[in-house]
Structure 1
Amino acid sequence: MASLTIKGTEIGAGVPKTIVSLMGTDAAAVLPQIEAGKVAGVDCFEWRADFCRALRDPATMAAESHVVADQLPDHPLLFTFRSTSQGGQCTLPVADYVALNRAVIEAGAIDLVDVETWIGDEAVRELVACAHAHGVAAVVSYHNFKGTPSVDWMVALLTHMRDLGADIPKIAVMATCPRDALALLAATDEAARVHDAGPLLTMAMGRDGSITRLAGEQFGSALTFCALKDASAPGQVAVPQAKRIMADLHKVLS
């Protein structure tokens, strides 16, 4: 697959890049998490806006994005407002969701933005176009905390996300058994080999899905969410352990 290079980090080549979520009530609250992530060797950071007190104030969030980004001159920064249905802390009306993301994109501090598919194709295309106009990569995302859809359904969704303009299509599903992890990996492999021309981000959540967070290089997922102290989703592996296992797999299969 084609890779995507941001701040010198090549996403889509070699070992999957690690990413951790920054969760705090404001920018100042996540700065210690950034420092801990740097010490752990994290490759990328996600700033979770749904944890912030000012989440309904786009201008304040835009200003706060610079505070976070100033601490990450060498690490890609993903901005995410995660809605309740997608595993987040709260939900905004679509118009407010779009306004928040537009304000942060236009502030010029972030490198990537997460756009949730539930807002509808028209709104997704609007935010993707806004992101691209400001040099920001778009992660178009879908989360399912109830189960794992069929392989064909997941491949079709990943393909549709690319058609919507996603630089990185993302799906996260819940594994209720090891077969669900196999389904997620099969969908990732097919999308990467047959339908895709850029990086993917896929995972099966939960204990039975943890293997999918570590085997991305073999099946086509270019990023993996890891835990520092607090996990942001079920089944995340601690950064040091994830980096060690992925490095060992890389050596075995090289």
Structure 2
Amino acid sequence: MHMEPLVIKGMPIGQGRPKIIISLMHAEAADACATAKRGRQAGVDCFEWRGDFCRNVHDIPNMIEDACLVADCLPHNPLLFTFRSVDQGGQMDLPVDAYVALNEALIETGCIDMVDIETWIGDAAVSDLIAHAHAHGVATVVSYHNFAGTPQTDWMVSLLTHIADLGADIPKIAVMARTAADTLRLLAATEEVARVHTDKPLLTMAMGTQGSISRLSGELFGSALTFCALEASSAPGQVDVARARLIMDAFHDVLA
């Protein structure tokens, strides 16, 4: 398994232990900055700013201002912008054209380092947004979430490979684990894609308590980022930052 790290602000995503990311889920940019400060002090590596929580989400000029405020709080940490749709685990929905326009505007600010693009908008729109992001020096996380269960391993392998082939810098898949066997399928899919199909960093997880091990063992299986909880969890089964760091650092020492 060889992974080519994605280096953002000097941080190699895909090298060493998985990088810890937390979600900033606030209506106001000032509150997001306050949480970001606490996250930096706790040792968080990367930050996801969740547009679907933002008061100004329907006002693009103000969202642009907010993006730059949040970015100013994080001069040394990669910043991912995400508008998460409802069936993908988010707070609200936008029509495809509005979703694309919002993401394009945030990409053009120069304030964000990465943008999350949801697969449901279709391959053509995904490809266009990837190209727009790359033209502005922004990395792309292309994501799929399934809160109902865990698909078959081959299906997940095919999806992750397809996302990589579309040009995503970080293919992402999150599924719901009801059993340990579900988690094993997610880990098997991650390992196969990382070993056979791409050298890009992956972001995969089995959500729920049964899947928590998938959030901690990415260094072995090929997932280069892991979402953790600082104060509020953004998805089921997240481990708190301090505990995740302790476990992943110990795991890294064992693998070294």
With the length of structure 2 as denominator, give the TM-score of the two structures: 0.98
Q: Is residue 46 of structure 2 the alignment partner of residue 44 of structure 1?
A: yes
Deviation at residue 58 of structure 1 after TM alignment:
1.7
How many residues are treated as equivalent by the alignment?
254
> 1:189 maps to which residue?
191
Aligned mates of 1:229, 1:62 — CA distance in 2: 26
Deviation at residue 125 of structure 1 after TM alignment:
0.7
Identity percentage of aligned residues? 64
Give the residue type in structure 1 aligned to 2:94: L
Deviation at residue 54 of structure 1 after TM alignment:
1.1
SS at match of 2:22: strand
Deviation at residue 253 of structure 1 after TM alignment:
1.7
Q: Superposition pairs for residues 106-117 of structure 1, below 5 Å?
A: 106-117=108-119
Aligned mates of 1:103, 1:252 — CA distance in 2: 44
> 1:124 maps to which residue?
126
> 1:102 maps to which residue?
104
Q: Is the 8 A contact 1:114 1:138 kept in 2?
A: yes
Aligned mates of 1:187, 1:58 — CA distance in 2: 38
Deviation at residue 57 of structure 1 after TM alignment:
1.5
Aligned mates of 2:142, 2:71 — CA distance in 1: 21
Q: Superposition pairs for residues 79-94 of structure 1, below 5 Å?
A: 79-94=81-96
Give the residue type in structure 2 aligned to 1:97: Y
Q: 2:37 aligns with which of 35, 38, 43?
A: 35
Aligned mates of 1:141, 1:68 — CA distance in 2: 22
Deviation at residue 22 of structure 1 after TM alignment:
0.3
> 1:225 maps to which residue?
227
Q: 2:164 aligns with which of 162, 165, 176?
A: 162
SS at match of 1:110: coil
Q: Where does the alignment leave 5 or more consecutive residues of structure 1 unmatched?
A: none
Deviation at residue 88 of structure 1 after TM alignment:
0.1
Q: Is the 8 A contact 1:16 1:222 kept in 2?
A: yes
Q: Where does the alignment leave 5 or more consecutive residues of structure 2 unmatched?
A: none
Q: Is the 8 A contact 1:57 1:100 kept in 2?
A: no
Aligned mates of 1:155, 1:48 — CA distance in 2: 27
The list of structure 1 runs, each at least 4 consecutive aligned residues, that deviate by more than 2 angstroms after superposition, is none
Q: Superposition pairs for residues 137-156 of structure 1, below 5 Å?
A: 137-156=139-158
Deviation at residue 197 of structure 1 after TM alignment:
1.8
SS at match of 2:248: helix
SS at match of 2:228: strand
SS at match of 1:237: coil
Q: Is the 8 A contact 1:86 1:143 kept in 2?
A: yes
